[in-house]
Amino acid sequence: MTKLYSLGLGIGTQNSKDEWLEVFYPEPLLNPSEEICKAFSEALDYTGGNQAIEIRFDKINTLSHALYEAGAEDLSQLCSTFKLSTRPLVATLLETDSQPGSVPEAYLKLHLISHRMVKPHGTNLSGLFGILPNVAWTNVGAVDIEELPPRQLQARLDGKVLDVHCVDKFPKMTNYVVPKGVRIADTARVRLGAYIGEGTTVMHEGFVNFNAGTMGTSMIEGRISAGVTVGEGSDLGGGCSTMGTLSGGGNIIISVGKESLIGANAGTGIPLGDRCIVESGLYITAGTKLALLDDQNKLVEHVKARDLAGKNDLLFRRNSLSGMVECKTNKSAIALNEELHKNN
């Protein structure tokens, strides 16, 4: 019996060519039981690999019965509910965590992250942009870009307006899942595939991209770019930014540790450790030249910001007289300096 990495029963949208635009998975599964895997395999004639199998309505009863016999009553009931659907249905079965090969596979992986089943970087999303179509997200759901003009015209002829909220490869997360214990002031600013930890507040100017997010209680008034994670108890001030791997960060994975603060209109292009502060208005990049200060505010050495990546208890500030970017630490600056040279 094939053991599955993940599976999901989904309701989706297709264009006039029967190509998938998006898929909604109400109850995605990670590492499903052997009994559930067997029920899906037998009911859908699944023989292995990563597949998105469109479910004909004559298969729904067969799958529902197989799942009931396997003790998966919730999934069996979901199948019964799916019989009422007027939209196409799909069962996506992933034997391995390899890069997505279809729209249903990509959407299942994004669901796994937003359902907090896997953390950012916890599932293979290689090639995702090449798989996802650019879609017009409207008040009646996803619409193929090429099919949008006649749909808009028909709406006008019917005395209505087809409201296009955005044109993007990613929908907003809350149309698919609302994680427990979060506040999101503007839901359009959190993409599907974001990981929003319990206790997090995302204010109106906050933004969370896919494959990124907060690990626990955080206040987000700035931008969490793709691939960036923010630790428990950290605060991103209004208008601040984190450099993502898709926009200038290269292959460096940026993260913010626990109980850290990035001030308003500030930013970081290096990973920050725990209890770090970047003062308001200051943007740190990997190449930023820093003056490392001791506890008497005396210069110890000049270093590049990349040399301090991931270090704890750092304060980054700009000297208003000299214009030099300085770094102070709760640890002795001499001890930190020795640590840096030891690791070279």
Cα–Cα distance, 89 to 73 (Å, whole number): 19
Question: Which ranges in 296-332 belong to alpha helices (H)?
Answer: none
Instruction: Kindly write down the DSSP assignment for every residue of 142-204, as one continuous string.
Output: EEEGGGHHHHHHHHHHTT----EEEEESS-BGGGT---TT-EES-GGGBBTTEEE-TT-EE-T
Q: Helix, strand or coil for residue 112?
A: helix
Cα–Cα distance, 223 to 86 (Å, whole number): 38
**What type of residue sits at position 211?**
N
- Kindly list the catalytic residues: 221
Interstrand relation of 299-304 and 183-184 (parallel, antiparallel or unpaired): unpaired
Measured torsion, CA atoms of residues 39, 41, 43, 46, in degrees rounded to the nearest 10? 170
H/E run at residue 34: helix 34-44
Question: Which structure tokens are listed for 113?
Answer: 């992250």
Question: Which structure tokens are listed for 275?
Answer: 């209890």
- 342, β-bridge pairs: none
Cα–Cα distance, 136 to 325 (Å, whole number): 44
Instruction: Kindly write down the DSSP assignment for every residue of 69-100, as one continuous string.
Output: HTT-HHHHHHHHHHTT-SS-EEEEEESS-PPP
